[in-house]
Structure 1
Amino acid sequence: MQHKPVYYGEYLQLDKIIEAQFPESDKPGNEPAHDEMLFIIIHQAYELWFKQILFEVNSVIDIMSKPALNDNSAELQTVVHRLQRTVTILKVLVQQIDILETMTPMDFLDFRDMLRPASGFQSWQFKIIEAKLGLKFEKRHGQEYYISQLQQKDIDTIQKAEDGRSVIELINKWLERMPFAEEEKYSSLFTGGSFWNEYEKVYSNSLSEAEKNNLSFFKNIFFSEEENPERTLTPKACRSALFIMLYRGYPMLELPFQLLDTLLEIDNQLGNWRYRHINMVRRMIGTRIGTGGSTGAGYLQGAMDKHYIFKEISQLNSFLIDRRKLPELPKGLAEKLGYNF
């Protein structure tokens, strides 16, 4: 079959993209505001990047939703690669604020009042990204604003995303099935009768007097059987995640560690984006309310403080110990985590 020539502009649908900017200030009866074009293009670029992030996150969810993800295959590498791409895109989103900040507060006031009640808060794509990563409605800051300014079709789309599987939920299931230190055949080979008994003793001895309360926190995180709706990761999943962090130098754990570390970097970059956004809003409008009716910088500050999706993974760093004091793994387990020839 003969290949039909592809023309650059048609392939990229440039007619639609380049002609998709309609400043409110250009409409009859309004005074033209030069910087509104920049404002529109920046936010259109954000939404295009949000679309790409969703494309990557959805593919990760599809892979991890399989009945049995093969950790020793290209599948896990693909998951890590696509999440790392997401991190890189988030870095670009933060950098785009540099361009937006070339607009002064007075430049913004030339057209700000024409935008009401439109607001970045109405970005349904961003809310879907948060939901697909694992941010639940009950853990959101400012729930009264969450869907109050959205059209019903967008509300339905977001709620559908919240009802589906999230990355953090699938990570929990993936971690729960990791054997390694849980395997009975290795338990008797550790000094304390099991890896975790031995590790708890070493961890306890590493604590200063001011940190002794951490031991009860340790037992609650890794061994509590009580139901806790605040938790996303089960004790077993937390044990697996900590084991990966501790022994990430072994070949079998290098990729799993990259996965956990990339999730933390996603949270980090989302936090950077919110932080830069807060400072920009304070610079532009001070303490005034947002065009969408939120408390402006105050709302953004509350969201930054609360919307950490993978914080249960980051908290596990509280339980790391000096690598020189790590329990030595039994030969059979060490071989299983390495390259076997």
Structure 2
Amino acid sequence: MTYDRYLRVDDLLSLQVPQSAPAEHDEMLFIIIHQVYELWFKQILHELDKCERALNADSLTEFLRTLKRVHAIQKILVDQVSVLETMTPTEFNRFRNRLNPASGFQSHQFRIVEFRIGLKDPGYLKFFRATPEHMNQLRAAMERPSMYDLFLRLLARKGYPVPKRVLDRDPAAAWEPDEQVKDVLLSIYRDPGAHIDMYNAVEALMDLDEAFMLWRYRHVAMVERMIGFKRGTGGSSGVEYLTRTLSKRFFPELWQLRSDLGSSQWG
């Protein structure tokens, strides 16, 4: 066994195939950045498997330790945008037309990450009709309980009054914010000391949600910096669509309950 054989370095280095002819210098950067994103998405999915096992086993310690790793990966995802921004709009436009009709919409791993955490939208399935294997993976992720579902079930097992309708809901359905779930989570925030393990868990979920929000923002800003308000290569409205994604939240009740905490005197 050698380093190269173990990591299959030759195979890895053969995967960067620019489509421009002659090859534009910056297309290599574009390809590598996005391939690295896909590798990190794969690792996040691997860690989400462990998160689910920990939740099913009522092991908050293992759950939090694993989420800490996911959060560290998320920081890398955000920082990678800065590397891509070293390419100028002119340099990008020299090969951008070669990407048609490819689009970030078609990252099945990113959609699976969203589905697995709790942000399910069957509307995205249509972008994977040409790749049945990816479509099947997305359907499987949509039909299984999300990490948020599993966390709420853990809360119920620990005696928190999570509504039965929430525990028995169709896991494939898009999550709808629930007032009673918000009240359960609010009770944890109102007395963190009495619920310290759960408080640490919900704050870790907030870290996860906020980090994805920051990544979406950096992505939107980078795209506008590169192409302005041109349409996306996959036919989307580009920046206009991406801006709408900034309102996405995996755990909406955790954000909503902030308005119910403490005094409002500071506005």
Is the Cα contact below 8 Å between 2:125 and 2:138 reproduced in 1? no
Give, in whole Å, the separation in 2 of the partners of 1:50 and 1:148.
18
Name 1:318's counterpart in structure 2. Answer: 259
Cα offset for 1:248? 1.7
Deviation readout 1:121-148 (Å, 9 max, x if unpaired): 110000000000011216xxxx3x6533
Name 2:212's counterpart in structure 1. Answer: 270
Name 2:190's counterpart in structure 1. Answer: 246
| Among candidates 70, 74, 79, match of residue 63 of structure 2 | 79
Is the Cα contact below 8 Å between 1:168 and 1:232 reproduced in 2? no
**Higher normalized helix content (fraction of residues):** 2
Kindly indicate whether residue 116 of structure 2 is the aligned counterpart of residue 170 of structure 1: no
| Among candidates 115, 126, 149, match of residue 147 of structure 1 | 126
Give, in whole Å, the separation in 1 of the partners of 2:128 and 2:213.
24
Name 2:78's counterpart in structure 1. Answer: 94
Gaps of 5+ in 2: none
Kindly indicate whether residue 222 of structure 2 is the aligned counterpart of residue 280 of structure 1: yes
Q: Secondary structure at the match of 1:24?
A: coil
Give, in whole Å, the separation in 1 of the partners of 2:31 and 2:237.
22
Is the Cα contact below 8 Å between 2:118 and 2:149 reproduced in 1? yes
Cα-Cα RMSD: 2.5
Cα offset for 1:149? 5.1
Deviation readout 1:190-225 (Å, 9 max, x if unpaired): xxxxxxxxxxxxxxxxxxxxxxxxxxxxxxxx99x9
Deviation readout 1:306-329 (Å, 9 max, x if unpaired): x2111112212222236xxxxxxx
In structure 2, relative to structure 1, the CA distance for the partners of 1:149 and 1:97 (3 Å cut) is: same
Is the Cα contact below 8 Å between 1:39 and 1:100 reproduced in 2? yes
Is the Cα contact below 8 Å between 1:124 and 1:154 reproduced in 2? yes
Deviation readout 1:156-177 (Å, 9 max, x if unpaired): 1101100001011111112223
Deviation readout 1:67-123 (Å, 9 max, x if unpaired): xx2xxxxx2111011112111111110100000000011101111111111112110
% same residue = 38
**290-299 or 237-246, larger mean C-alpha shift:** 237-246
Give, in whole Å, the separation in 1 of the partners of 2:238 and 2:159.
47
Kindly indicate whether residue 27 of structure 2 is the aligned counterpart of residue 48 of structure 1: no
- Match of 2:15, as an amino acid? A
Give, in whole Å, the separation in 2 of the partners of 1:238 and 1:170.
16
Give, in whole Å, the separation in 2 of the partners of 1:249 and 1:12.
46
- Match of 1:102, as an amino acid? T
Is the Cα contact below 8 Å between 2:56 and 2:154 reproduced in 1? no
Give, in whole Å, the separation in 2 of the partners of 1:269 and 1:24.
33
Cα offset for 1:256? 1.6
Name 1:12's counterpart in structure 2. Answer: 7
Larger Rg: 1
Name 2:137's counterpart in structure 1. Answer: 157
Is the Cα contact below 8 Å between 2:33 and 2:84 reproduced in 1? yes
Gaps of 5+ in 1: 1-5, 70-74, 183-221, 323-341
Name 1:179's counterpart in structure 2. Answer: 159
Give, in whole Å, the separation in 1 of the partners of 2:80 and 2:139.
29
Kindly indicate whether residue 244 of structure 2 is the aligned counterpart of residue 302 of structure 1: yes
